[in-house]
Each structure stands twice: as C-alpha cells, then as structure tokens.
C-alpha cells in the first residue's frame, strides 16, 4: 500500500488534536456499555457472530452496504469528519507519512476516536475499522519501536522471535487505537533489483512460510483472539507474485520491476508465489488479504496477455476464496483498481464504472480509495442498479467485513483509550528490537577471527551509516520512503551502540574516513543504502522527488562511489578491517573483498543499533544466516536457491557463527539429553575450539543424534548448525568440492521445508571435504 502525496501535504490538512476531555466520547445504542442491552440481535454479544452478521446484514440498505466496502484516507476526511457518516464508510486508513498533528500516541487515539464517533452516528451505528502499514513496528508513529525489516527477521531464522516482534507491534498499534495492520508481507522476493526486497522474509517460499508466525503475533494463534486488547487484524500481502515480477515489465511511474508482470506457469506459481498464502489461510487463519498491483501472464497461452491481479477473478474468487478456503475479507491496495485497464480508455488512471465492476466482481471486498471514496460509492451504486454487479456479491463482501468487525470486538469496544500509550516505544519492546537486530546480523567473512572485537580495543569507525538512525531503519519509517538522518527517531545508531556496549573501547569516528588512523587496532566501516520504499527503490527506477539528496541517489546493487572510497581508505590504512553493509538487499562488493577481514550483512536493523554492537563485541554471538543469496556479480541477478549454475559469492543460508558448537548443542539438549545426544557430546567428537570433528565416525554419531532427537524442536536445528559450521569451515579453508554453494543452499531450503534428514545429508557432503 502506498501514498500518493508527500508528508507536507498531509501535514497541511492535519487534524487538530482533540483535548483530553474529548477522549471521553458518548456511547451510541448498540455500542460499548450499551451492547447487549438493546433489543436488536446484532447488538447482543451473547449471540454467535454469524447470527449477529446475518441480522445486521438484513437491516442494511444498499448504500450502507456499499459504504462498508469503502475505505478512505484520513487526509480526505480530517478537515470534515462528517463525511465518514455521510458516506457510511467502513474504514479509514493512514498511508505512509499520513499522521495527526502532533504525531503523538495520544493524538492518534484522539483522531481515531473522533472518526469512530462519526461512524457510530449513523443509523445502524456500525463501527469503522482503522488500518495502517506497520511493517516493521508501528513506523508511522513518532516514538514507536522500529524493528528490523523482514529480510533481517528471515536471516534470524527464529519464528518465535518473529512472532514476538509482531506481537509487540500489535500492542503499540492498539495503544494508539488502531486494530488493523496491512502486514505481514509474505511475498517471495526473487530479484534483488526490486525496491521492496527488504519487505520479504526470503527468496525461499519455505522460509517465508516459517516466518508466518508473524500472523500469529498480530492476531493471536486463533481468530477468536482478535478481540483481545493486544491483538490486531493481520493482512497478508501482496497476493500473489509481486516478488516474482520480471525486470522491465512495470508500466507505473517509470518503475522497473515493482507493479510489473509475473511471467510464469501454474506449477511454478503455486510452488513459489501462492504457497505462502495457502499456509497463511489454512495454518494461521489470517483475517484479511491484499492483492498485488502486479499482473500474472501465464506462459501456457502465450506471453503478452497479462491480467492485473485486482481484476483476476480466477485467482481471487476461484483460488483464494474457494480452493484455499479464505473466509476473511480482501482489501485492495492503494488506488489499485484505478490501474485496471478500461477498454474504452486503456491509458487512463481515473476511476471508471468498468474498473469498479471488474474489481468488485473479481472478488475484492473492501476498496482502498484514499481520495475517491465518494466517487467509488456512486459508481458502484450505479453498477448495482444496472445489474452489472449482483447483490449476492455485495452481500458476500459485507458479510466478510462485518464478521471480522464482530470478531475484533469493535461493536462492544469501538473507542480507544489513552491508558496504554506508554507501551509505544517501551523499554521491553526496545529490548526485543535489540535482540532482533542482533539475531539478524549475518557474518559473511571472518578472516583471522577479527570478530568479535575486544572490549578494550581501539576502534576506528567510519562510513555514512555508522551514525545515521534513519538509514538503518529504512523505508516505511515516519514517512512512506523513510527519512535519512541521525536523530529522526528515538533509538541508538550503530556508533551509539558501540560506545554503550563497549565503554572501555577507544572509539574514533570519522564519517568519510579521513581522520588519522594511527594507533587503531581495527577499522569498522558502516556503509550501504539510504531509505527507500516501493517503486522508488527499484534499481534503475525514478528518484523520490521529496527525499533528501542522499535518498535521491541512483539505486544500485553495488556500493555508492563514496562508500567504496571509505572502504578503500580505511581498509588500506588499518591492519584489520570490518565492513558492515546496512541495506535492504545484498550489495555486490566482490572486488573489494580481498581488503576486508570481516564482512557483515546488517540489513536494516531498526532503531536499536545496540543490537548490532552486541554481536560486534561478543555480547551476543553471530547466529544469522542469509535469507537472500548474495551475488558474486550484478550480471548474476536474479539468482536464487535452486537455480542451475548457482555460483554466488555467498549462498542462501550462509552465516558464520561465533559461539562454541558444543555449548550450543548442550544448551539445546537441556538437562536430560537422549542417549544419542549424550554420545555426540562426548569429548572425543570435539576440537579444542568447541567445533565438531568431521571424521566419518563423528558425523555418523551426529546423524544418529539427529534421528534420535525425539520431539525436541531445538535439537535438530542445533545439530544441523554444527554440521553447517563444519561445511562452511571447509569452504573458508578452500577444501570444499565444486558445487558446494548449491549444496549448502539446497540444504538450507531442505531444513526450512522440514526435511532435516536431507539437510543433514547435503551438509555432510560438504563437511566431509
């Protein structure tokens, strides 16, 4: 979902903050304390949701039903909130950077409550549902905790951590009065040139599916949890194929790959693009789904006739709702049906009757019409009156929307309170963000064990991303495209974190690396990308016209010239050199690798740079593994696990560790290890540094321990990690056989898919040399 206006325009239309007294809002019949005391069945919370929906639906006029299907942007109603009631709006949203003034948690509560009061003033008092893009924390809200973007969470390989990250996000959302998140993105990113790569957990659908604990973090493990005050409605997006579009196929705003065409066949589409949605619906009962701006072009009938996803009734009605069994509601993306080609005027971006009826009949239930809500309602009403959209389709859409509203408890508790605003950016949430940042760091190279750094080392820190919290947070932070700068959000930069985590270290900082380096033990150069989001983040795409000069630099899969210069300058001057790449996707730096001793993929770690410092100084070990293949050259892109002739610089799943393997296994085994695990823990199987020996007998013992790990969830991962360590050590030593990269990547895919025995076999093949 994306806004069409820069933040300044939203600010000019900003809503004046309500006084504290205005937060005490009157109750309307059928809401709040009055719920259950009315005479109408839909007002009675003791009745089943289905019965309440049926009763309410039967009382609604066509205009009221169409209103429920309509969502406007806050900027369109802020100056005249009575439009909400006049249009019978079912929902209001905030686009990226669309906030109340001032941007405080209490002001968000006041704004949402004022909008809700207008919705409840209508004849049937149906509450609205407010939605927002909280894609890595509640990023639109000043002071919120900003977590690593999904690409980093995928590299952490910790489903429980991901669930907790999204749960803390839900808590902060509810504290500001918002019960609906347009997240998580479960796209499978297959081309690093895509500007939304960082919103994807992985290039591997198997890993994306493992990270769908994010849905549980938002909604709870059961749809019945939606009514709890710490849960929100989740939206999996963008259905389906948006990460798999071909470069150069976009026709939107000079984009290159975003909103392009997925050229595929049904089998590959089901395996790569569709499978995460099957898991989200059947395994996690997600409540809403957002279609993609992109199109699908089936190769079976010849390439050249793509169908926009928002017009694709086969995939929305037929596959999502009927075949997969999705019983929530479908919300369109921002102005998305405007992109459906109208045969009478194929190049027009205006809303037309054709676009409205095609979008509704294809299966979308609620329509995100930021500034054209009234026009949409008028057009849909005319289409219904003319018989081109049937009432059965309208009733199905409204039934789905009302069902979720009842499950969220909005009819009983429509208003938010300021009682929990202290949860926004709380210490516990920031501690979790720090942990997530640490776990997401991937150690790609560690020559001479340069990492972790000594706590009292003399460290020369350089690079533009060392002290820039906006760059390390990335897009969808305060504004749609993000904001570059050192103090734009609360938190710690990576430089701040290094000084906090290692107070005994001597830290010299020079952004451009020109300060004297004499006496430095090690150089740490923090480089990478500046913030961007969809479209404007495409490699070769347009520059964001409202961004800072740094944000307007051409997007690339290689480091910017200034970053390359700093790496060269510091790594040639200091005996030991570590480079951290803060970015939303891999950056090709193969030609500089020889001068780099330690290389870290830091991704976009969020607001807590202390988490990055924790692993640099050994307060936490490096444990992350690449969720995306790291290319050797830009000519290899797109490159993904399973490709033929797979020879990247670092394969999918690569990640060196800095903890002791035997200690890791002992911790996973617990106080009562099985006999097979006790045999593996025997001293003779381990080297002095705590790593596993790779002789045939020891690896056989490890395989028996894997098969005898019982019901433990942690043990198989721990055992596989030991063999992966051994395999990567063979690669680093130059002893691995040809084809090792593909074998390691295939092993990680097998592990993500639950095929632990196959993963072991593949890892053993490389580890044995």
Q: Which residues, 6+ apart, have CB-to-CB distance to 332 below 8 Å?
A: 290, 291, 310, 359, 364, 366, 367, 368
Token look-up 């084809």 returns: 739
Q: Which of 534, 614, 703, 746 is catalytic?
A: 534
Rounded to whole angstroms, the Cα distance separating 237 from 257 reads 17
Sheet-wide strand order for 288-291: 235-239, 288-291, 329-330
Catalytic annotation, pick one of 43, 172, 258, 333: 333
Closest among 691, 702, 622 to 660, alpha carbons compared = 691
Residues in a beta bridge with 756: none
Q: For the chain, first and last CA: distance in Å?
A: 48
Quick check: is 412 catalytic?
no
Q: Please report how many Cα atoms fall inside a 13 Å half-sphere around the Cα of residue 680, on the Cβ side.
A: 35
Q: For residue 387, give Cα distances in angstroms to 340, 355, 390, 392.
A: 21, 15, 6, 11
Q: CA dihedral in degrees (297, 648, 615, 613; nearest 10)? A: -70
Cis peptide before 95 (omega within 30 of 0): no
Between CA 231 and CA 598 the distance in angstroms is: 41
How many angstroms separate the CA atoms of 226 and 284, rounded? 13
- For residue 16, list its beta bridge partners: 101
What's 515-528 look like in SS3?
CCCCCCCEEEEEEE
Sequence-distant (6+) residues with CB within 8 A of 63 are 88, 377, 381
Residue given tokens 């010849």 in the structure block: 302
Exposure letters 257-272 (e unless 16+ CB within 10 A, then b)? bbbbbbbbeeeebeeb
Q: Are 52 and 42 in contact (CB under 8 A)?
A: yes
DSSP H/E element including 354: helix 353-362
Structure tokens at 197: 């790569």
Annotation marks residue 333 as catalytic: yes
Distance CA 321, CA 62 (A): 23
Tokens found for residue 672: 């009562």
The CA distance from 33 to 43, in Å, is 11
Tokens standing for residue 344 = 């009478």
What is the rounded distance in angstroms from the CA atom of residue 452 to the CA atom of residue 669? Answer: 26
Query: Which residues are the active-site residues?
Result: 333, 534
């Amino acid at each position: 979902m994306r806004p069409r206006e820069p933040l300044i325009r939203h600010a000019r239309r900003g809503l004046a903050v309500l006084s504290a007294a205005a937060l005490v809002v009157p109750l309307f019949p059928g809401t709040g304390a009055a719920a259950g005391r009315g005479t109408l069945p839909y007002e009675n919370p003791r009745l089943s949701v289905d019965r309440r929906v049926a009763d309410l639906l039967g009382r609604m006029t066509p205009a009221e039903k169409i209103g429920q299907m309509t969502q406007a942007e806050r900027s369109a109603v802020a100056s005249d909130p009575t439009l909400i009631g006049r249009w019978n709006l079912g929902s209001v949203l905030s686009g990226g950077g669309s906030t109340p003034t001032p941007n405080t948690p209490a002001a968000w509560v006041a704004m949402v409550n004022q909008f809700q009061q207008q919705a409840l003033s209508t004849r049937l008092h149906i509450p609205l549902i407010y939605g927002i893009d909280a894609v890595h924390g509640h990023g639109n809200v000043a002071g919120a905790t900003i977590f690593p973007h999904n690409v980093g969470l995928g590299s952490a390989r910790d489903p429980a951590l991901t669930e907790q990250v999204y749960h803390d996000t839900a808590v902060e959302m509810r504290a500001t009065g918002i019960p609906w998140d347009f997240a998580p993105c479960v796209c499978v990113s297959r081309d690093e040139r895509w500007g939304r790569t960082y919103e994807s957990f992985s290039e591997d659908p198997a890993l994306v599916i493992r990270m769908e604990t994010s849905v549980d973090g938002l909604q709870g493990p059961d749809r019945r949890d939606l009514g709890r005050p710490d849960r929100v409605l989740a939206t999996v997006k963008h259905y389906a194929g948006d990460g798999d579009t071909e470069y150069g196929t976009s026709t939107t705003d000079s984009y290159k790959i975003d909103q392009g065409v997925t050229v595929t066949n049904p089998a590959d589409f089901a395996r790569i693009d569709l499978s995460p949605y099957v898991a989200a619906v059947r395994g996690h009962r997600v409540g809403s789904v957002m279609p993609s701006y992109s199109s699908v072009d089936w190769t079976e009938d010849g390439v050249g006739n793509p169908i926009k996803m928002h017009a694709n009734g086969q995939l929305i009605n037929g596959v999502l709702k009927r075949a997969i069994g999705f019983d929530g509601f479908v919300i369109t993306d921002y102005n998305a049906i405007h992109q459906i080609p109208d045969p009478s005027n194929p190049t027009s971006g205006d809303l037309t009757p054709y676009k409205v009826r095609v979008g509704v009949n294809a299966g979308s239930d609620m329509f995100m019409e930021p500034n054209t809500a009234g026009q949409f309602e008028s057009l849909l009403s005319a289409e219904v009156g003319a018989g081109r959209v049937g009432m059965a389709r309208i009733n199905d859409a409204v039934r789905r929307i009302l069902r979720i509203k009842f499950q969220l408890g909005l009819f009983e508790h429509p208003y938010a309170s300021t009682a929990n605003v202290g949860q926004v950016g709380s210490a516990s949430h920031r501690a979790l963000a720090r942990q997530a940042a640490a776990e997401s760091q991937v150690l790609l190279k560690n020559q001479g064990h340069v990492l972790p750094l000594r706590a009292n080392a003399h460290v020369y820190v350089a690079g533009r991303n060392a002290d820039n919290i906006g760059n390390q947070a990335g897009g969808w932070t305060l504004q749609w495209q993000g904001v570059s700068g050192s103090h734009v959000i609360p938190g710690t930069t990576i430089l701040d974190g290094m000084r906090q985590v290692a107070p005994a270290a001597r830290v010299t900082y020079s952004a451009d690396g020109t300060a004297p380096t004499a006496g430095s033990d090690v150089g740490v150069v923090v480089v990478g990308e500046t913030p961007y989001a969809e479209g404007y983040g495409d490699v070769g795409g347009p520059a964001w016209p409202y961004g800072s000069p740094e944000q307007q630099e051409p997007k690339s899969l290689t480091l910017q010239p200034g970053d390359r210069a700093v790496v060269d300058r510091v790594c040639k001057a200091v005996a030991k050199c570590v480079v951290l790449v803060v970015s939303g996707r891999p950056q090709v730096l193969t030609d500089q690798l020889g001068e780099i001793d330690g290389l870290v993929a830091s991704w976009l770690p969020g607001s807590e740079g202390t988490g990055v410092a924790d692993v640099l100084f050994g307060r936490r070990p490096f444990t992350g593994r690449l969720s995306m293949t790291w290319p050797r050259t830009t000519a290899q892109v797109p490159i993904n696990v399973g490709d033929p002739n797979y020879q990247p610089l670092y394969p999918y799943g690569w990640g060196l560790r800095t903890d002791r393997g035997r200690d890791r296994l002992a911790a996973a085994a617990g106080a009562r290890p099985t006999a097979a695990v006790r045999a593996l823990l025997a001293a003779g199987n381990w080297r002095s540094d705590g790593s596993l020996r790779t002789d045939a007998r020891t690896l056989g013992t490890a395989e028996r321990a894997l098969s005898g790990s019982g019901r433990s969830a942690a043990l198989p991962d721990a055992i596989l990690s030991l063999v992966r360590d051994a395999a990567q050590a063979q690669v680093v030593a130059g002893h691995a056989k040809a084809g090792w990269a593909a074998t390691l990547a295939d092993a990680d895919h097998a592990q993500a898919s639950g095929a632990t025995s196959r993963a072991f076999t593949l890892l053993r093949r490389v580890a044995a040399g």
